[in-house]
Amino acid sequence: MSAASMAALAADLAAGRRSALQLADDALARAERAAALNSFIRIDADGARSAARAVDAQRAAGAALPALAGIPFAHKDIFCTRGVATTCGSRMLRDFVPPYDAQVVERLASAGAVSLGKTNMDEFAMGSSNENSAYGAVANPWDTARVPGGSSGGSAAAVAAGIVPFATGTDTGGSIRQPAAFCGITGLKPTYGRVSRYGMIAYASSLDCAGVLARSAADCAIVFDAIAGFDPRDATSVARPAEATAALLEQPLAGLRIGIAREYFGSGVQAGVGERVHAALRELERLGAVLVDVSLPNAHHAIAAYYVIAPAEASSNLARYDGVRYGHRTAHARSLDELYSLSRAEGFGAEVQRRILVGTYALSAGYYDAYYLRAQKVRRLIANDFAAAFAGVDLIAGPTAPTTAFRLGEKAGDALAMYAADVNTVAVNLAGLPAISLPAGLAGGLPAGLQLIAPAFAEARLLNAAHRLQLATDWHLQEPAA
């Protein structure tokens, strides 16, 4: 519907051709026209208009404003927003109105970005298709019979449909990159600890990362620069100054060494996806990059390790939803035990309950060593694989997901098939690394994603390579038919 880049919108705003209020009204109208996608859980039209008016007033008063001032966007409904309901895709939090803003929310608000509201997501960010939302599935704008990916499916669909130029997301095992790939947009998962998790509802705390979904790497860089940095309220936030990546986008790629991870091109990769990824790699080579074969020998253990560690942490994080302090409370309890168990049985959906059971089991006294401890050792091996590979290359590349977007319902009854959709993304979280998914053209009419992975804190290198590729190609400009 509207693929204007953020730089173009910012130029329009600065020149007075458009006001922030006009941009907000246009985005709200697009959201209404695209309501059938179900990409939003809540639209806060009044909040958006008053934020836009505030930016317009500042501009009229002659203030120098940041690049994001007046740009409409949306937050994944996992970020706490003061005074605006935050459900995390769950019935458990249907009526939860946070008394505070997440750090990411604060940062974007102080940069003047105008939030339209909260996007749909898999419940507690558990899923790869957005079918686990208590507020209904989201449709992929490229084919509404298909999933947008998950768990940041609402954010990805809203950007791909042109409702907003960017949206926030979170990525615990691929939830920014895989929906970006399925929806034909660009998604950046930063280094663990680079963006504060303060006010971001916890799924698996040692893996959770906040990031951004946008049309291009250049737009991702603007948003990343606004949200990255130390926050004393998150004990895992890294006290290291964030470099301004937007200023480093243009560097030539000559001599950049890109490792082609052979494990990422296994038999499960759909032929069309493999072709598109190879085409993108050839383009990077034409731009001066050197392609090198690398191996990540423990890659095939990543899914198993992730689906022990993530549920283990989730089972602990989700223990707080007990029907007593906040969240859903059953009306049918006859005892305290029933208050806990019925509140949780009524409030949590099937996949969340499955993860709590798996995680509790893996952490139990008799099985801790066999599952949780073993998974942590595998996690170390996976991180070591990346460290060894990065001794010889600057970036590692492969398909973001092995397939294009699958059909709604296709994997919904088969948890293991669903988990396999994350085969190329979860290892990155286990190792805490930054990665980006970029559109690499269409396979069978649907977007295919290229994933680039970098060493910790090398977001600038990732965004630079992605931006140079996007300057030379038009895959990121392809849009679904209205």
Q: Which candidate in 115, 129, 155, 175 is catalytic?
A: 175
**Is residue 411 annotated as a catalytic residue, yes or no?**
no
Would you call 76 a catalytic residue per the annotation?
yes
- Size of site (CB under 6 A) for ligand GLN: 14
Is the Cβ of residue 136 or residue 445 nearer to ligand GLN in the bound state?
A: 136
Q: Which of 151, 168, 245, 315 binds ligand GLN (CB under 6 A)?
A: 151
Among 112, 162, 174, 441, binds ligand GLN (CB under 6 A): 174
- Stretch near ligand GLN under the rule CB under 6 A, chosen from 88-96, 172-180, 214-222, 332-340: 172-180
Residue in the shown chain whose Cβ atom is closest to ligand GLN: 175
Q: Under the criterion CB under 6 A, does residue 223 sit at the interface with ligand GLN?
A: no
Does 315 qualify as catalytic in the annotation? no
Q: Which one of 9, 104, 116, 126 is in contact with ligand GLN (CB under 6 A)? A: 126
Of the candidates 324, 349, 330, which has an alpha carbon nearest to the alpha carbon of residue 125? 349
Q: How far is the CB of 170 from ligand GLN (least distance, A)?
A: 6
Touching ligand GLN, residues 414-443 (CB under 6 A): 422
Segment interacting with ligand GLN, rule: CB under 6 A, options 39-47, 121-129, 391-399, 471-479: 121-129
Is residue 133 involved in binding ligand GLN (CB under 6 A)? Answer: no
**Least distance between ligand GLN and beta carbon 112 (Å):** 28
Rank residues 172 and 424 by Cβ distance to ligand GLN and give the closer one: 172
Using CB under 6 A, which of 19, 39, 168, 175 touches ligand GLN? Answer: 175
Which residue out of 19, 76, 237, 437 is catalytically annotated? Answer: 76
When binding is defined by CB under 6 A, the residue of 128, 168, 424, 464 that contacts ligand GLN is: 128
- Contact pick of 172, 196, 245, 473 for ligand GLN (by CB under 6 A): 172
> Rounded to the nearest whole angstrom, what is the least distance from the CB of residue 199 to ligand GLN in the complex?
16
Q: Smallest gap, in angstroms, from Cβ of residue 336 to ligand GLN? A: 31
The residue ranges that bind ligand GLN (CB under 6 A) are 125-128, 151, 170-175, 203, 310, 422
Catalytic center residues: 76, 151, 175
